[in-house]
Structure 1
Amino acid sequence: MSSPPRTDRNPGPSEHVATSLRERKKAKTRRTIQEQALRLFAERGYEATTVEQIAEAAEISPSTFFRYFPTKEDVVIQDDYDPLLVAAILRQPADLAPLSAVRAAFRSAFSELAPEELAQALYRAKLSLSVPAVRVRTAEGLFTTIDGLAQAVAERSDRDPDSPAVRTFVGAVMGAMLPAIFSWVEQDGAEPLPDLIDEAIGYLEAGLPI
């Protein structure tokens, strides 16, 4: 009698290639949807732009849109910055103090963004502050950011990410970072975002001198 097929084997090279191609195609589709959505928002206004119009511009169906973005608000707030920041924190030298590590990580992560990425981020930030529905989703998304940063800080410090010390630390960092982003939007990007965030965390690192 023949043996049953194995189900615990490692994927072969061809399967890795197929998975990689699928992931790249999904990433490209996600970028296209977001780019077309932001273009239409700029041309027609957020409220006047429908999911159907975004889908048509991206050459997909509305159902495909919702597979990538659960709501129209999500097409504004979703990005890859949280994993970028977490990875930058974990790359910092182990002997660097937690706040110094976070400050260096934020500086390096935001400095890596291309000018067109920063321009898109600025427009998305403007929408997040000016459109009530997007503002609500942005506030909800902050909890995800806090959780990710807490995991990274806890891993570097060998602490529990849910401990009051870690959560308070991350809350203080976010409290310093948000006004910097607000200033960036108010100035229409005149001052570089990495400089504003670095200055804000620098005040925190110095004990908030006034």
Structure 2
Amino acid sequence: MSKDNNENRPQLRLVVNNTEKRNQRPAASEDDFISFQELAANRELFQVEFYRDLEPLQAEGYREIESFLVEKGWPYGLDPRHGQVIVIPAGVVCPESDEHGGAGQDEVLVYLAEDATGQGLCLALEMLMPYYSEDEAVMEDAFLYGPVNQYGSLFLEENRHDSFLDLIYRLALPLYPVHMDKILLDRFFSIAAHELKETLEGLAGYANE
């Protein structure tokens, strides 16, 4: 993204600390939003609801992810009300995130979805980048000319609360016929940590101080 295309155009800015609105786990109202602290503190309570309607293969996969996170000693929560996602603080997955615009509110979401081919599952990880602009052209430039990663990618999505565009990093891995184990998960999160660092560093170069 070239800064000299239009010097008068506003650059990317850090997202302000409004967790309920700038979040990948949208809620119909602020009362529906569940903070990470609540998810983590009441994980066993949410666990029953989280696993209730899952297919056996999907449930087995989520239990493998939980086992991996427990072994790593990472804090996490289970959110059964916003798309069946595992919620992890961004700074845990990518320790450098706080150095490049991240904040304590930032989250990484991990989930298992049906593979697009209908064969097996897809392991995915997403993080909302902590930058925004009211100028859609700036967001489109960030998307078009931002960092290009080997495995993950950036995409734009309209925020339902304010209609601004969100820039989101996603890493996805098809699991069929691969069996998910701790070695695969360790590699998956290592890739995410590296690419998130590179992406945040790249976007920080276009942000206002």
Same fold (TM over 0.5): no
The two structures have a TM-score, normalised by structure 2, of 0.31
Decide which structure has greater helix share: 1
Task: Indicate the structure whose relative CO is greater, using CA pairs within 8 Å and at least 6 residues apart.
Answer: 2
